[in-house]
Amino acid sequence: MKVLVPVKRVVDSNIKPLVKSDNSGVETDGLKMSMNPFDETAVEEAVRLKEQNIVSEIVAVSIGEAKCQDTLRTAMAMGAYRSILITSDELLEPLSIAKILQKIVEKEQPNLVLMGKQASDDDTNATGQILAGLLGWSQGTFVSKLELTSDKARVHREIDEGVQILDLTLPAVITTDLRLNEPRFASLPNIMKARKKPIETIALSDMDIKTTTRLEMLSVKEASTSREGIILNSVEELVEKLQNEAKVI
Amino acid sequence: MTALVLLSYEENQIRSTSRSTIAAAKKFGEVHALLVGHNLSELSQKAAKLEGVTKVLVADHEAYAHMLAQPVTDLILSIAETYDYILVSANAEGKDILPRVAGLLDVQPITDVVEVVNENTFVRPIYAGSILATVKSSDNKKLLSIRGTAFEPVSDEGGQASIEALSKVAHSEKALAQFVSVEVTKSDRPELESARVIISGGRGMQSGANFAMLEKIADILDAAIGASRAAVDAGYVGNDYQVGQTGKIVAPQLYIAVGISGAIQHLAGMKDSKIIVAINKDPDAPIFKVADYGIIGDLFEILPQLENRLANR
Ligand SMILES: Cc1cc2nc3c(=O)[nH]c(=O)nc-3n(C[C@H](O)[C@H](O)[C@H](O)COP(=O)(O)OP(=O)(O)OC[C@H]3O[C@@H](n4cnc5c(N)ncnc54)[C@H](O)[C@@H]3O)c2cc1C
């Protein structure tokens, strides 16, 4: 079985980026970039399935500027066999990304696309579902447990009231929740090995896909979080404040 | 302009988040509600009473029983043409279905909308809610998922919508996914998204058994119980308790965070609560920066005192 794993290069999720002084966008220059944590989970799951001999080949794919190579190298150090990089300097939306991935799926013919449920930068949570729709494939979103056999995938999905279990006909698109697994750190020998693994580079301009932007970012602003809080010395004081000052109990 | 709202419900109750979605949809014009599922007669009556809804479309069929993305998408596509806006709640169900519909309509969906600026401009959070982006859509049809906490829900009475049965049925032989089972956390407590008070536990709780201390307080305050991701990952409670970037988004009148450090991904889910209380033994824990009231100390000492005080007030 062949698995395609799309990976996105994002601002490291431990860093809180700042808004540009003219509010036109988010300042990402000079910040540490990493693989989207949800995609890391997807790579890890693919690698585990390979180690169990259920999956035979893992192909990682990334879309964006040339530096996405680093993200692909990380995926290959974790265990992906080879990579595809689609280069573009445009800011691409989930709809465009899904259209590009659709082309890659048609070329690579995987049985499964395993990808993060959302990206930790734009938090859209849409690309996998759009891709499944475009391909006419089954979809299993927000998956925290996966059992894969040659013709079907049993997925445990995190839903609002608990967990839902579905059997998906393959081929399928599966989007991962962080709870699916604990991604490994690539070992030094594997990082060295990954340097020699092949990356096929395709320019988006050669792909004949319309990627016109539908959502124009007009402005951004910081969301307010901090409050002028007070530290209280006793539970008595707290209950008194909640009752008489805040009036919430 | 007409907007279609996909209703979300649980056990014959329309979720409050759907009533918030209707509130957002009303800004665009006439609102029709779509009710999808099986054995919907009671729910259809309730849907028809929703304030601001003029028509309820009902698709009642076994194939829709579990709101699976593929059949529901096909159904929405069959009626999408007449609508300028299609809205869902930004909950697990809505997030599953909306983008699939959007892809097939060649529309870029706008997820987690917290503000409608005008007919084509919306505000949505990015970077775990630390930044708010204002975006303008050039798509002819707008597909939106609405964050329930950001819109005051419409009333569940007063409406007099007509009810229309949809004849289109999903073909189960073409189904790409089969429902196997669902594990639902049974609880008599209010649901997290609409609770007035929430008490949440984090890694500091040390075990699932210790959540009993939170339950006793929740009983007194008629509160829902939430958790941080660390507490869910450690198996203290189920995933449906998780509050945050990848969990539920809540904004109760009172949110009590116990043994939670206040990571940005947790704040993403609760920072819009009216009053925030933090109980933590680490005076430098970031949760204190977003709290209105803080108590520094050992939660195992403070919780019994709090229970006692609340019970005897
Ligand atoms: C992409 C991504 C998405 C994420 N999504 C979410 C999400 O949706 N929700 C979420 O919550 N997290 C999420 N996280 C995880 C988040 O970053 C934190 O790791 C998590 O919130 C920490 O949980 P915690 O505060 O319970 O644990 P910790 O950070 O370990 O904090 C435990 C706290 O308990 C206190 N404590 C310990 N013992 C006691 C005691 N006896 N008395 C009083 N206080 C005590 C400690 O001082 C500490 O502050 C996400 C992370 C990533 C990378």
Q: What is the pLDDT of residues B9-41, one digit of tens each?
A: 998 999 999 999 999 999 999 999 999 999 999
Question: Is the CB of residue B242 below 6 angstroms from any atom belonging to ligand 1?
Answer: yes
Contact at CB, A16 and B125, closer than 8 angstroms: no
The CA distance from B191 to the nearest CA of chain A, in Å, is 9
User: Is the Cβ–Cβ distance between A43 and A79 less than 8 Å?
Assistant: yes
Find chain A residues with C-beta within 8 A of B300's C-beta.
none
Is residue B170 predicted with pLDDT exceeding 70?
Answer: no
ipTM, two decimals, is: 0.97
Cα dihedral value A40, A44, A46, A51, nearest 10: 160
Report residue B231 as tokens. Answer: 């507490």
Smallest Cβ–Cβ distance between A160 and the set B176, B240, B291 belongs to B240
- % of chain B surpassing 90 pLDDT: 95
pLDDT at B173 (0 to 100): 65
Spatial neighbors of A209 by CB under 8 A, at least 6 apart, are A96, A99, A100, A103
d(CA B159, CA B156): 8
Asked if residue A110 has a cis previous peptide bond (ω within 30° of 0), the answer is: no
Instruction: From B174, B182, B151, B179, select the one nearest B5 (Cα to Cα).
Output: B151
Residue A133, pLDDT score: 98
| pLDDT range class, residue B175, cuts 50, 70, 90 | confident
**Model pLDDT for residues A111-127, shown as the tens digit of each residue:** 999 999 999 999 999 99
Please judge whether B295 and A238 are an interchain contact, meaning their C-beta atoms are less than 8 angstroms apart. yes
- Whether A40 contacts chain B with CB within 8 A: no
A224-238 tens-digit pLDDT:
888 999 999 999 999
B76 Cα distance to chain centroid: 21
Q: Do A225 and B130 touch (CB under 8 A)?
A: yes
Q: Is A66 on the interface with B (CB under 8 A)?
A: no
A160, A179, A249: residue with CB nearest B91? A160
Residue owning the nearest CA to atom 22 of ligand 1: B230
Residue A39 CB coordination number (10 Å): 31
| Distances B252 to B255, B256, B283 between C-alpha atoms, Å | 6, 10, 24
Which structural domains are found in chain A, ordered by start?
A: 2-244 (3.40.50.620)
- pLDDT tens digits, one per residue of A166-182: 999 999 999 999 999 99
Measured in whole angstroms, how far is the alpha carbon of residue B69 from the centre of its chain?
Answer: 17
- Distance between CA atoms of A43 and A45, rounded to whole angstroms? 5
What are phi and psi for residue A209, nearest 5 degrees?
Answer: -125, 135
